[in-house]
Amino acid sequence: MASLKILIADDEPAVLEIMALKLVSAGFDVVSANDGKEAWEKIQSENPDVILLDLNMPHLTGFEVLSHLRNTPPSKKWIPVIIVSAQGEMESLQKGFELQADHYLVKPCRIEDIIKAIRLMIALIPLRNL
């Protein structure tokens, strides 16, 4: 069985590197994006199974990437998105879920919690096709 592809979109190189290393060691394929524009391009070209999305990024914010994603044709529209952001205030959480994020983790968070959230999203993918 092919491993699942996770797109990590974050503008902090250290965060990208650490998350990528941990996710690869957990058995996932990882694609990285350094900003919102690159994240959007990689969503189109790489077809990730799950997206880990920071909110504060240059060129396109995580909210803008999520909005674009949810307004695309059905083939990409329902890729599960986990927001992983330092923005933990109620307004950001509410906006994330209004834009149909699937899960929201506030930084700093443990890599184990990220992996649990990814596995939950993967388990729910078949339900989206009902």
Band of residue 1 on the pLDDT scale cut at 50, 70, 90: very low
Domains, the chain, with CATH or none: 5-128 (3.40.50.2300)
pLDDT of 71-116, one tens digit each?
Answer: 887 766 788 999 999 888 889 889 888 989 999 999 889 999 999 9
pLDDT given for residue 113 in this prediction: 95
Residue 130 has pLDDT above 50, yes or no: no
Report the C-alpha gap between 58 and 102 in whole angstroms: 22
> Model confidence over 33-54: pLDDT tens digits?
999 999 999 999 999 999 999 9
Q: Can you give the pTM of this predicted structure? A: 0.90
Task: Write down the residue that tokens 């939950």 correspond to.
Answer: 120
Q: H helices of 71-110, where?
A: 74-77, 90-98
Mapping DSSP onto H, E and C, the string for 43-66 reads: HHHHCCCEEEECCCCCCCCHHHHH
